[in-house]
Chain A
């Protein structure tokens, strides 16, 4: 069964550094998402992406965040200047239509 992949699985960075989280969605999917989960809390929506542009973003997704689909396969989330409170698990998801959203295994980000 096809699956969403994410790299790296873990990343440790210093406060103020830029990080790029990478995702490879399922190949025929059209809708892409990023979510995050702070330890012990629920999963929160960050941004959705369709037709090479952001379709919706949450208030968490401020100017420090950006997303890109640089080629036909990758979908990236960039955090320009990380803060301690950005420490979380970041999930990428994709879907083909109005059905199942498929989630990747997540990237655990720790900001020191």
Chain B
């Protein structure tokens, strides 16, 4: 199956800082999503981004499918950005393979 690696595993930020999370995958994919898992365990969909760049407020994401990686940018971080960020990849209508996640802690 497709291997998904996320880095860094943990990230501690001060409020207002910017950060970049990375997702590498081992095979070509045509589905890629970034999720934020909130303290209640819910998976909040951030971006569907199998290729290209998208922005939503302080968050943006870029996927370079030919090089098999995706980046999630958090700018001007806030304490509400804390949680685990997951990258998930897949092919066609098949299953998602999730990475192990990046645990983000934003301190006031």
Contacts and interface: CB of A to CB of B under 8 A. Distances in A.
Interface in A67-100: 89, 91, 93, 95, 97-100
Nearest to B100: A42
Contacts of A97: 93
Contacts of B31: 98-99, 101
Contacts, number: 56
B94 A48 contact: yes
Given A43-B88, A106-B41, A98 B33 contact: no
A35 interface: yes
Contacts of A18: none
Interface residues of B, number: 23
Contacts of A31: 93
A32 B100 CA distance: 23
Nearest to A34: B95
A50 B93 contact: yes
Contact of A100 (B33, B43, B94, B98): B33
B62 interface: no
Interface residues of A, number: 26
A105 B42 CA distance: 5
A33 B100 contact: no
Contacts of B35: 103
Given A56-B94, A99-B48, A102-B45, A42 B30 contact: no
Interface of A: 31, 33, 35, 37, 42-45, 48, 50, 56, 58, 89, 91, 93, 95, 97-103, 105-106, 108
Q: Which 3 A-B pairs rank lowest in CB-CB distance, beginning with the nearest?
A: A45-B95, A100-B48, A43-B98
Interface of B: 30-31, 33, 35, 40-43, 45, 48, 86, 88, 90, 92-101
